[in-house]
Amino acid sequence: MTETRLSPAPGAAPPVRRTSALGTAGNLLRSEWTKLRSVRSTVWTLLITVVIMIGAAALAASATSGGDGNGMPTADRVLLGASFAQLAIVALGVLTISAEYRTGMIRTTFTAAPRRAGVLAAKAAVFAGTVLVTGLVAAFGAFFIGQAILGGKGLELSLGQPEAVRAVVGAALYLTVTGLIGLGLGTLIRHTAGAITTAVALLFILPPLVAALPGEWGQTFSRYFLSNAGSRVMVTRVNEDLLGPWAGFGVYCLWCAVIAAAGLVLLRRRDV
Amino acid sequence: MTTIHVNDLTKVYGRTTAVAGLSFTVRPGMVTGFLGPNGAGKSTTMRVILGLDRPTSGTVLVDGKPYRELRDPLRTVGALIDAKAVHGGRSAHDHLLCLAQSNGIPARRVREVLAMVGLTEVARRRVGGFSLGMGQRLGIAAALLGDPPVLMFDEPVNGLDPEGILWIRTFMRSLAAEGRTVFVSSHLMSEMAQTADHLIVIGRGRVLADLPMEAFIQGSARAHVLVRSPRAAELATMLTGQGAGVDPAGDGLRVTGLTAARIGELACAAGLALHELADQRPTLEAAYMDLTKDSVEYEAVAS
């Protein structure tokens, strides 16, 4: 192997074609897609998400004997798996970047692409696209399984019911933004365990505690707090005490943007 | 040609000053050894060159630009900083592919570099199961992806078996022979002696020496000529008169500042018999120890 030669020699090398800014964005997206698809944890986590969503829908539909209020079961009854699946998705979001810190791959990544904001944007875009597609498959899968089981009992569940399509698509959107919050926390905290613990606290532990805050301002704060706001988009019933579906989802996106922005500031400033 | 310019670089981590006012230039067409005891600031300097760490003050330019401003940097600089800095769950092929894609390098090049370092057969295996030597080869394959004019290796032979060491050594020499800029760090002088044409020696974050290998050996305080003569006192006076430094050493004289040939000629002209005339070229290791003995961060305390 000592006869190894490199070709072409620098003198003979053809003029190097420099990539445009747009080309760079495309290159980073391709690179991040290769990274995401080439580790097993991605495939497993996405598979678990689909299984949880569909399994929970089947269980919920089987346990249903009557409808809500007006006698008809609603879409959100078969979407309850999303609140469990979000744990898998948020962990995947964290790992998308924290695994690079754990293994040291982040140094290789930033050596290859020193514009760190671009790397994070490409990671977020590829991850969001993947989770959105998986979320849609899982949510519609859950809906149709639920529909079939309920239909066998003579109960009707259809996409034609008010707000049904919005709730099903909303579940996929909610999972996507939840995953991005994981990515933001992973960027901010860099350690897998620390970031996942923080995510669990923010999404599972604090929302019910915040809801118990006393007084008017406590209720207001609770309405706007992370998943309390974000989960409205996958609920069909309108609750006057809480935010509307899209307002709630908008607030959830803002939370995500703030976490991501904080992560980005530190990402650009830190030594790696 | 492509050079690395380090200009008055200082890097402080908290209360620790890793490098203090470092300036040097790494030139193409040769292997430049970056030498210093552990903790001297070699890895820090390399990380700053690659834009991974921000300098506290000073500038580092690669091909005339800060690293972070290079477009598709793998086409300019190939670096092996830490061979373990890979995701163990990814195959060698996929690891190199994601790096290649980020710089718009065609996938065909991935197969080429895998063949160059002899990893073709394990390309689809997950990197986590690689031996140290295989990991090192993968790191070198990554450095070669963009066919870059500048290559940087941080302690490339650490933990390698003799065959691997020989391979890397030959490889670096051939890269330099092709006109590339090759910058290699090591804390082992013996390793550099086999590879480098030029040396930059640092200790405690400062440049101690920046000179061609040959000059480094010659310039060492230990380079001298040992002379023995029955008329030592007269010889000493005569040589001192010629500008040489003369110290008694055992039953002979330790002469610095004149070559052995010149001393022989002068002694002959003066009619002084010599019983011994020996050029004392220090080993590279000794010259290095001399230079860095005051700058070793963690020195064993002799009682």
CA atoms within 13 A on the CB side of A252: 31
Could you list the pLDDT tens digit for every one of the 303 residues in chain B?
799 999 999 999 999 999 999 999 999 999 999 999 888 999 999 999 999 999 999 999 999 999 999 989 999 999 998 888 899 999 999 999 999 999 999 999 999 999 999 999 999 999 999 998 899 999 999 999 999 999 999 998 887 888 888 988 999 999 999 999 999 999 888 888 889 999 999 988 899 999 998 888 777 666 788 999 999 999 999 999 988 889 888 888 999 888 889 999 999 999 999 999 998 877 777 777 777 777 665 555 544
Measured distance CA(A85)–CA(A174) in Å, rounded: 11
Question: Does B135 lie at the interface with A, CB-CB under 8 angstroms?
Answer: no
Q: B interface mutation test: which of A42, A108, A109 has the most B CBs within 10 A? A: A108
CB-based contact B228:B276 (threshold 8 Å): yes
User: Assign residue B193 a region: left if phi > 0, alpha if psi is -120 to 50, beta otherwise?
Assistant: alpha
d(CA B260, CA B257): 10
Distance of residue A204 Cα from the nearest chain B Cα, in angstroms: 30
Rounded to whole angstroms, how far apart are CA atoms B188 and B275? 37
How many CB contacts within 8 angstroms connect chain A with chain B? 130
What is the predicted ipTM? 0.89
Min Cα distance A247 → chain B (Å) is 37
Position A8, amino acid: P
Q: How far is Cα B74 from Cα B85, in angstroms, rounded to an integer?
A: 16
Give the ranges where chain A is alpha helix by DSSP (H): 21-37, 40-63, 82-103, 105-112, 116-152, 164-189, 192-200, 206-211, 215-224, 226-230, 245-269
Helix axes B132-144 and B162-177, enclosed angle (nearest 10): 10
In angstroms, the CA A254 to CA A262 distance is 12
Residue in A with minimal Cα distance to B141: A6
What is the Cα Rg of chain A in Å?
A: 22
Is B79 in CB contact (< 8 Å) with chain A? yes
Structure tokens at A259: 């976490």
CA distance B26 to chain A (A): 17
Contact B147 A6 (CB under 8 A): yes
On the question of pLDDT at A241 being above 70, the answer is: yes
Question: DSSP class of residue B149?
Answer: S
Q: How far apart are the CA of A123 and the nearest CA of chain B, in angstroms?
A: 12
Q: According to the CATH classification, is domain B4-218 in 3.20.20.140? A: no
**Rounded distance between C-alpha atoms, residue A247 and residue B270, angstroms:** 103
Core vs surface per residue A126-156: b (16+ CB within 10 A) or e: bbbebbbebbbbbbbbbbbbbbebbeeeebe
Q: For the sheet containing B181-186, what is the strand order?
A: B77-80, B150-154, B181-186, B30-35, B198-203, B206-212
**Residue with token string 């080309």:** A23
Q: Quick check: A249 pLDDT over 80?
A: yes
The shortest CB-CB distance from B67 to any of A10, A30, A114 is to: A114
Are A114 and B82 a contacting pair at CB < 8 A?
no
Q: Of B71, B118, B167, which is closest to A18 when you measure between CB atoms?
A: B71
Q: For the segment A73-97, what is each residue's pLDDT rounded down to a tens digit?
A: 789 889 999 999 999 999 999 999 9
Give the domain ranges of chain B: 4-218, 224-280
Q: What is the mean pLDDT of residues A104-121?
A: 96
Pairing of strands B198-203, B30-35: parallel
Contact predicate A56/A80, CB 8 Å: yes
Indicate if the pLDDT at residue A2 is higher than 60.
no
Q: Is B52 on the interface with A (CB under 8 A)?
A: yes
Q: Do A112 and B99 touch (CB under 8 A)?
A: yes
Cross-chain residue pair B167–A13, CB shorter than 8 Å: no
- Facing residue for A104 by CB, picked from B84, B118, B174: B84
Q: In angstroms, rounded to a whole number, what is the distance separating the alpha carbons of residues A101 and B99?
A: 16
Q: What's the rounded Cα separation, in Å, for the pair B49 and A12?
A: 27
Chain A closest-CA separation from residue B70 CA (Å): 8
Model confidence at A6, pLDDT cuts 50, 70, 90, reads very low
HSE-up (13 A, CA, CB side) for residue A160:
1
Collect all residues from A whose CB is shorter than 8 A from any CB in B: 1-2, 4-6, 8-11, 13, 16-19, 23-24, 27-28, 30-32, 34-35, 38-41, 99-100, 103-115, 269, 271-272
How would you classify the pairing of strands B198-203 and B57-62?
unpaired
Confidence at residue A167, expressed as pLDDT on a 0 to 100 scale: 96
Q: Tell me the C-alpha distance between B18 and B57, whole Å.
A: 12
- Among residues A129, A147, A180, A176, the alpha carbon closest in space to that of A54 is found at A147
Torsion angles phi and psi, residue A185, rounded to 5: -65, -40
pLDDT level of residue A69 (50, 70, 90 thresholds): low
- Which of A34, A97, A106, A268 is most worth mutating to test chain B (most B CB atoms within 10 A of its CB)? A34
